[in-house]
Every structure is written in structure tokens, then in C-alpha cells.
Amino acid sequence: MTNTRAVRSRTRSSPVRRAVATVGDEGTRSSGRMTDTDIATGLLLGATDVVLVAHVHPDSDALGSAFALGLGLERRGTPVAVSFAEPRQIPESLRSLPGGHLVVPADQVPAHPDLLVSLDVGSASRLGSLDRLLSTARHSLIIDHHPSNTGFGDHHLIDPSAEATVVLVARLLDRMGVAIDRPMAENLYAGLATDTGHFRHADSDAHRLAARLIDVGVRPAELLRPITDSHPFDWLKMLSVVLGGAVLHPQAAGGAGVVCTVIDLSTSAGLRPEELDSVIDILRTAREAAVAVVLKQTGPGSWQVSLRSEPPINVAAAATTLGGGGHVRAAGFSHHGSPDEAVGAILATLDGC
């Protein structure tokens, strides 16, 4: 299981099917065969009720995708609910996103929805307790951009070349004939901005989508401040401890270098997951290391491990080997044991990749 903020995969050779905006897709459509996008659109338009599920501890892409699509379905008159297994409430930094009224606690979602849609979820385990709906829903649709997606569920709209899952949602809204208004646009922009590292990893299509969303009324600085640009004072104290304890392994990853740090429970006490997730973006700025690793303690002997890399290192391959997954430049996995054991396994795996 991974717990990372996704940034766009730069690989175009994933074994997962590309579902939208490809030459092959257009050729298939012209031959009369339905594409994955056609099927997804038909499922959404024909559903009598829909449950939209984000991954546990949802980020801006997962929740923004669910809210944007949910608002679009609501406008069409389709009964819709948005949910996630953990935590019980919307993460504090995302509570300003429009669509919160659609959220239903995980233990109160309809037990037998007509259509279950997972958004930005790479594997069934990332659904947490809501994975039960995979066997009770009449249909399930998986919308994702992770190249490591396991292909769970009935129907799939998976495009590893998309910068974020919100890109796929925007295309679906267009295909459904739903005009994107400001509330939908704010959700789409939040997911797009965060998953592209504030557009550092975005191509021209992403910038064009961002311009379209701004034209609808999105105010980027105002929208993103509570998500990425606002932290409590104790966050600064945590950074001083965590960054001060960082360790550099200059010869690791074939000499490219790896920098690691650990956030234990005592250091993270009182801070939101969002504060902890921000550490790796600071750690990765170390010029002596092409790979950054942050180990976040989640319980006694339990850790969430996040990895980021610079070209040409593929941390998704390393994470997959260690039981997780993600993107070429951003991935993660869960670890049970000591942090030293996790770091040792990472270094050995990177040297073998």
C-alpha cells in the first residue's frame, strides 16, 4: 500500500492500458468498437445511483476528482455519495474544496450501489474498509493514472500519461456534456496543481487545462493556500528535528545518492498528515541525492515510506519490489519493522534496479 502524493509519470511504456486521447483510441472509435472512455461515460450516464470512493487519507487529486465528478453527477440529478475509509472526516487542508456536502461516512454508504467508482486508487487495498463495495456494487469503474494500478474492479479508465486523475475526470465531464463551473473547476485545479508539483512536471496540455479552469473563475493563490501554503507553528519545530536528522548516502543508487529521514510518532504528535507529507518536497532539494526517502511512523513498528527521484531513477520499480507502487518519480510502500531495516532494503533495491 502506498501513501504518496502522485506526480506525473514520464514513462509512456506502462503495461497498463492507456484509455484516452491516444491515436489508438481514436482508431478504435472509428472502427466502431467502444473505447474505455466510451464505456466509462455510458456507465456514469446510465447509473441509477453512484458511490465515488477516494483512497484512504485522500489527497487533492483523489478528493478533488471525487468532488468534481460528484458535483457533475448531482447536477444531472443522479443520486451520488462520496466516501473514503480513513480518516472519518475530510482532511483539514481540503475542507475548503466545494462538494463536502456529498461526503457520507464509510459505515453509512449504500451497501449495494448501482455504480461504484474509485478515483486515484491504485489497488483495492487502498480502498480500506470500502473494498467491500467491489463485491456488492452492480458495476465498478476504476479511474486512475497510476502506472502501477493493479487492475481491480470491473471496468477501467487508466491513463498513466495523464498528469493527474482530475485530468481524466475533466475529460469525462466534457464527454458527459456537463459544463465545468467554478466549484468543479476548483476541485480539478487543486488536484492538477498538487499532482504536478505546482506545474513543474506538467506539459502543455496540463497548462491549457489550468488556463481553462482559471477562466471559469479559479483563483489559484486563494485556492491553494489552505492546501499547501499554510501550516501551524509546530510544523517549523518538526522540520528542525526531521531535517536535522537527515542522513545522506552519497554512493547509493549507483552513485546518484539517497537522502533519508524519519518522522516518528513523538515528532509528528499534533500535526496533520498534510504537514508530514510536505517534508519530502523539502528533502528532495538536496543536490547530492537523486532520491529522497521519508519514513513516517503510523504505529508501533509500522511505517509509511515515501520516495521521490530525479531522472533516470525509477522509484516505482523499487517500491513495487518492496510491496508498494506509484509513479516513476513518486512512489511508496508500507513497512513493518525498524526504520533502519527499511532504509537498508531501499538502498539494496535501488542498487539492483
Instruction: Identify the bridge partners of residue 295 per DSSP, sorted by sequence position.
Output: 262, 305
Do 133 and 193 have their domain in common?
A: yes
Q: In the structure, what pLDDT confidence band is assigned to residue 32 with cuts at 50, 70 and 90?
A: low
238 burial class (0-12, 13-18, 19+ CB within 10 angstroms)? buried
Do 73 and 216 have their domain in common?
A: yes
Kindly report the CA angle at 81 between 83 and 163, in degrees rounded to 5? Answer: 65
* Mean pLDDT, rounded, for 266-271: 94
The C-alpha cell at 114 is 448501482
Do 212 and 261 have their domain in common?
A: no
**Complete DSSP assignment for 176-229:** HT----HHHHHHHHHHHHHHTTTTTT--HHHHHHHHHHHHHT--HHHHHHHHHS
Tell me phi and psi for residue 78, to 5 degrees: -85, 125
Is the pLDDT reported for residue 127 higher than 50?
A: yes
Is the pLDDT reported for residue 310 higher than 60?
A: yes
Quote the pLDDT of residue 61: 97
Do 246 and 195 have their domain in common?
A: no
Residue with cell 546518484: 256
Is the pLDDT reported for residue 109 higher than 80?
A: yes
Domain that holds residue 36: 23-228
Amino acid at residue number 321: T
Residue with cell 498528469: 163
Quote the pLDDT of residue 81: 98
Amino acid at residue number 169: V
Say if 2 falls within a structural domain: no
Do 210 and 71 have their domain in common?
A: yes
Q: In the structure, what pLDDT confidence band is assigned to residue 46 with cuts at 50, 70 and 90?
A: very high
Do 210 and 238 have their domain in common?
A: no
Say if 6 falls within a structural domain: no
204 burial class (0-12, 13-18, 19+ CB within 10 angstroms)? exposed
Is the pLDDT reported for residue 201 higher than 90?
A: no
Say if 272 falls within a structural domain: yes
CATH number at residue 118: 3.90.1640.10
CA dist., res. 59 & res. 90, Å (int): 10
Do 286 and 322 have their domain in common?
A: yes
Q: Of the residues 209, 228, 247, which one is the last residue of a structural domain?
A: 228
Is the pLDDT reported for residue 190 higher than 90?
A: yes
Q: Of the residues 176, 197, 228, which one is the last residue of a structural domain?
A: 228
Residue with cell 499547501: 228
Do 180 and 327 have their domain in common?
A: no
Q: Of the residues 228, 252, 277, which one is the last residue of a structural domain?
A: 228
Pairing of strands 115-119, 80-83: unpaired
Quote the pLDDT of residue 200: 87
Quote the pLDDT of residue 105: 97
Say if 16 falls within a structural domain: no
Is the pLDDT reported for residue 203 higher than 90?
A: yes
Do 209 and 247 have their domain in common?
A: no
Do 224 and 239 have their domain in common?
A: no
The C-alpha cell at 311 is 531522472
Say if 9 falls within a structural domain: no
Select from 323, 324, 294 the least CA-distant residue to 309.
294
Say if 125 falls within a structural domain: yes
Quote the pLDDT of residue 15: 32
CA dist., res. 222 & res. 230, Å (int): 11
Q: In the structure, what pLDDT confidence band is assigned to residue 353 with cuts at 50, 70 and 90?
A: low
Q: For the chain, how many structural domains are there in total?
A: 2
Continuous segment of H or E residues that includes residue 331: strand 330-336
CATH number at residue 245: 3.10.310.30
Do 298 and 170 have their domain in common?
A: no
For 244, other C-beta atoms within 10 Å of its C-beta total 8
Is the pLDDT reported for residue 31 higher than 80?
A: no
Q: Residue 247, SS3?
A: strand
**pLDDT tens digits, residue range 139-173?**
999 999 988 899 999 999 999 999 999 999 999 99
Select from 221, 159, 158, 160 the least CA-distant residue to 189.
221
Strand order in the sheet with 50-54: 80-83, 50-54, 115-119, 139-144, 155-158
CA dist., res. 73 & res. 77, Å (int): 6
Amino acid at residue number 102: L
Say if 18 falls within a structural domain: no
> Which range, of 18-32, 55-69, 112-126, 127-141, averages the lowest pLDDT?
18-32
Say if 15 falls within a structural domain: no
Select from 190, 194, 192 the least CA-distant residue to 219.
190
Quote the pLDDT of residue 213: 98
Residue with cell 506526480: 7
Quote the pLDDT of residue 328: 87
Do 64 and 142 have their domain in common?
A: yes
**pLDDT tens digits, residue range 209-218?**
999 999 999 9
Dihedral over Cα of 287, 289, 290, 292: its sign: negative
